[in-house]
Structure 1
Amino acid sequence: MTSLSLSPAAGPQRSAAAPKAVAVWLLVCAGMVFAMAIIGAITRLTESGLSITEWKPVTGALPPLSEAQWLAEFEKYRQIPEYQLLKRGMSLEEFKGIYFWEWLHRLWGRLIGVVFLLPFVWFWVRGQVSRALAPTLAGLFLLGGLQGFIGWFMVQSGLTERTDVSHYRLALHLGMAFLIYAALLKVALGLLDPAPAPQPAAGRLRPHAWAALALLGVTIVWGAFVAGINAGFAYNTWPLMGGTLAPAEMWTQTPVWLNLLENTAAVQFVHRWLAVVTALVVLSLCWQAWRTGGGTRLRGVAAGLAAATVAQVGLGIATLLSVVWIPLATAHQGGALVLTGLLVWTLHLLRPPETPRQATPLTATPLTEMPAPR
């Protein structure tokens, strides 16, 4: 008796559009994470983050709907140090203004969870998620849940003894947002373009691109430190800080290394010069991509990356000179997201070609000859 073949050709065909549909869904999720980071920036810049003093993942989706509920929420806010030491005398209408941004930030996080989970289940049930991809998507969902917990962990740090949140926890929260955003883009690009054309000098450009992305990540972390300790208000001139490149106030704390993490002058100094070094490394990468005769798509991405880098440096300087004007500071955070996305795209285009593997059809164990009936 011949063997029973269970090769894909013998069964129902998976739609060729399935990977594209999954990729588009992931890009929508990445766009929502981008918007979430922008809303988070506004929430931080308007000092709205501590206006909701409880974490209610389900019932907290609804804002106060009556005057009594608003007064109850306001009374909770009036018990924390931020109100008692910095915002005493705030009116109920002013409280509603800051409450809106924190509520919107949390609501948007819930929406991202729904927009991720429901299509994930739908694609999985329909067989449009491969076995290799399913654990990655499940991991991304778990990262999103962890990010929600980190957000509350950050808020909690400002409810008892401090008048603001821990800048270390703020950096963790922001860093996780960028990680999720980059991971969503990476997976989506892998589905849309699973085998990008080989690029000249990709082996040399790839470590350069990874170095640029790593530097950008460190710069973003110090940007979160700048925001968390209000270091952006310390020196609002460029390129000098108080008439010098490195003000003496940078080294007032002990041990010395702590200044780099908690001294407003030193933290701003580190962020400034990390940004300069990162920009030079990124621009060098873009130049190398053009000089080595990369493909049309790589050159286009490199040109966009160079333009975004120059714009981001300009936004950073403008944010300083404007004494942290909220629209500029928000755009500056958005610029960091754009740079992250373009570097992820660059790395995708520089992927080493995969070694072709012969597809092995799924076959059942051959059946042995049955003895002839007597």
Structure 2
Amino acid sequence: MCFGAVMLGGVTRLTESGLSMTDWKLLGRPPPRTQDEWMVELDKYKLSPEYKYKNFDITMDQFKFIWYMEYGHRMWGRTIGAVFYIPAGIMWARGMFSPAIKKRVAFAGVLLACQGLLGWYMVKSGLDHNNFLGPSDVPRVSQYRLAAHLSSAVVLYSALFWSAKDILRPALQFDPSKITPQLASFRKLVISSKGLAFITLVSGAFVAGLDAGLVYNSFPKFADRWIPEDILAQSPTLRNFTENPTTVQFDHRVLGTTTLALLSAVAVQAARLPLPTRIQYAAFALGTMGWIQVGLGISTLLLYVPVPVAAAHQSGALVTLSLAMWLAHEAKFLKVLKKLPK
């Protein structure tokens, strides 16, 4: 369900639906049922910067579409809360959790509660007229808050994924005396690939937040240059890395290419080393997904960000991270101990 929430959130951003609901209630509310209720919702939307500067000619049918997209995303998140908190509370009360699992459940529960608040905090940035006073400002949510919202969701998903693996299919055990430095180095390579996959995913949030996929729709060059002229056009220089669409796209390309190289190296090393079949399968799946993900990214760019392809690319980022976590979990005990057990 967390995976689905991330996917739905990506589609909501791609269809520019996130600012259609201008209020937030903790437990939600039913959708409008009559034409008069829909007019009330539309009147609220008319007070927003997005309507004033961009969607001033929106029809009721168009408004209903973006409203239902955002409503579906929010209600899906609330449903996750119910599916998590109710069973967790019952199982906790019955003493079904070990101390270690209690810590994980508490961490996930707090993060899940904060996720809804963080989502509304993000939306509010796109509803404040003071954020769009410049002549070229485009009404949209803050890319910083979008990245924080996505990162928080991915951390929550990762925590649940890792815990599920621990419980349903524990990591392989290895004889410490048979772990060679090459095998231990492979584990470090796997951990690095997991970290880089996460960083690349977060950089994609800045691409989405700034609509950076709509600049320089060519590959591998930026128009006819390897390094675009306006890559450091803003001052101070550091702002370019999070506020200049060209720089953000450039960084995402570099990160994506570097991640692909690392994932390919993991797959090649897995084929060369005497590893269990479970680890080799996970490594090959990760390397294959790396190439698919880059292909989806290039297609998204060259086709000017069509929603289906872009949504597949965003979902592919989480699939790639999932495979990296799967592999890292399988190789969790593949390390050289400082002191061998007696």
**Out of 159, 180, 190, which is 2:166 matched to?**
190
Q: Is the 8 A contact 1:36 1:109 kept in 2?
A: yes
| Equivalent AA in structure 2 for residue 292 of structure 1 | L
Rounded Cα–Cα distance in structure 2 between residues aligned with 1:277 and 1:72 = 49
Alpha-carbon offset, residue 44 of structure 1: 0.4
Rounded Cα–Cα distance in structure 2 between residues aligned with 1:98 and 1:44 = 10
Q: Secondary structure at the match of 2:32?
A: coil
**Out of 204, 219, 227, which is 2:208 matched to?**
227
- The aligned residue for residue 51 of structure 1 is 20
Rounded Cα–Cα distance in structure 1 between residues aligned with 2:30 and 2:271 = 51
**Out of 188, 191, 214, which is 1:207 matched to?**
188
Q: Is the 8 A contact 1:197 1:349 kept in 2?
A: no
- The aligned residue for residue 126 of structure 1 is 94
Alpha-carbon offset, residue 186 of structure 1: 0.5
Q: Superposition pairs for residues 73-112 of structure 1, below 5 Å?
A: 73-112=41-80
- The aligned residue for residue 216 of structure 1 is 197
Bigger mean CA deviation after superposition, 115-124 or 165-174:
115-124
Unaligned runs of 5+ in 2: 133-138, 338-342
Answer yes or no: is 1:284 the counterpart of 2:260: no
How many residues are paired up?
Answer: 323
Bigger mean CA deviation after superposition, 197-206 or 292-301:
197-206
Alpha-carbon offset, residue 202 of structure 1: 4.1
Rounded Cα–Cα distance in structure 2 between residues aligned with 1:186 and 1:304 = 18
Rounded Cα–Cα distance in structure 1 between residues aligned with 2:96 and 2:271 = 38
Rounded Cα–Cα distance in structure 2 between residues aligned with 1:230 and 1:131 = 44
Q: Superposition pairs for residues 337-352 of structure 1, below 5 Å?
A: 337-352=318-333
Q: Is the 8 A contact 1:279 1:313 kept in 2?
A: yes
**Out of 228, 243, 252, which is 1:247 matched to?**
228
- The aligned residue for residue 340 of structure 2 is none
Q: Is the 8 A contact 2:12 2:69 kept in 1?
A: yes
**Out of 181, 193, 196, which is 2:157 matched to?**
181
Q: Is the 8 A contact 1:195 1:353 kept in 2?
A: no
Rounded Cα–Cα distance in structure 2 between residues aligned with 1:195 and 1:55 = 42
- The aligned residue for residue 311 of structure 2 is 330
Rounded Cα–Cα distance in structure 1 between residues aligned with 2:75 and 2:320 = 26
Give the TM-score taking structure 2 as reference length. 0.91
Rounded Cα–Cα distance in structure 2 between residues aligned with 1:353 and 1:194 = 13
Alpha-carbon offset, residue 206 of structure 1: 2.2
> Relative contact order: is structure 1 or structure 2 higher (C-alpha 8 Å, sep ≥ 6)?
1
Alpha-carbon offset, residue 216 of structure 1: 1.5
> 1:168-214 CA distances to partner (integer Å, 9 max, x unpaired)?
10011111111111111111111123341328544212221221122
Alpha-carbon offset, residue 127 of structure 1: 3.0
Alpha-carbon offset, residue 125 of structure 1: 3.2
- The aligned residue for residue 136 of structure 2 is none
Instruction: Please identify runs of 4+ aligned residues in structure 1 that moved more than 6 A.
Output: none
Answer yes or no: is 1:139 the counterpart of 2:84: no
- The aligned residue for residue 242 of structure 2 is 261
Q: Superposition pairs for residues 135-174 of structure 1, below 5 Å?
A: 135-161=103-129, 162=132, 163-174=139-150
Rounded Cα–Cα distance in structure 2 between residues aligned with 1:205 and 1:64 = 55
Alpha-carbon offset, residue 353 of structure 1: 7.0
Identity rate, percent = 40
| Equivalent AA in structure 2 for residue 191 of structure 1 | I
Give the TM-score taking structure 1 as reference length. 0.83
Rounded Cα–Cα distance in structure 2 between residues aligned with 1:165 and 1:126 = 43
Q: Is the 8 A contact 1:198 1:350 kept in 2?
A: no
Q: Secondary structure at the match of 1:41?
A: helix
Alpha-carbon offset, residue 149 of structure 1: 0.8
Q: Secondary structure at the match of 1:121?
A: helix
Q: Is the 8 A contact 2:300 2:306 kept in 1?
A: yes
Q: In the superposition, relative to structure 1, how do residues 271 and 353 fare at CA in structure 2: closer, same or farther (>3 Å)?
A: closer
Q: Is the 8 A contact 2:45 2:51 kept in 1?
A: yes
- The aligned residue for residue 370 of structure 1 is none
> 1:37-76 CA distances to partner (integer Å, 9 max, x unpaired)?
1111110001000000111121x23111222211111101
Q: In the superposition, relative to structure 1, how do residues 277 and 110 fare at CA in structure 2: closer, same or farther (>3 Å)?
A: same
| Equivalent AA in structure 1 for residue 203 of structure 2 | W
Answer yes or no: is 1:39 the counterpart of 2:20: no
Q: Secondary structure at the match of 1:87?
A: coil
Rounded Cα–Cα distance in structure 2 between residues aligned with 1:353 and 1:122 = 36
Q: Secondary structure at the match of 1:251?
A: coil
Rounded Cα–Cα distance in structure 2 between residues aligned with 1:68 and 1:202 = 67
Q: In the superposition, relative to structure 1, how do residues 61 and 291 fare at CA in structure 2: closer, same or farther (>3 Å)?
A: farther
**Out of 297, 315, 318, which is 2:299 matched to?**
318
Q: Secondary structure at the match of 2:12?
A: helix
> 1:8-63 CA distances to partner (integer Å, 9 max, x unpaired)?
xxxxxxxxxxxxxxxxxxxxxxxx011111111110001000000111121x2311
Rounded Cα–Cα distance in structure 2 between residues aligned with 1:323 and 1:51 = 24
Q: Secondary structure at the match of 1:57?
A: coil
Rounded Cα–Cα distance in structure 1 between residues aligned with 2:171 and 2:321 = 21
Q: In the superposition, relative to structure 1, how do residues 47 and 291 fare at CA in structure 2: closer, same or farther (>3 Å)?
A: same
- The aligned residue for residue 16 of structure 1 is none
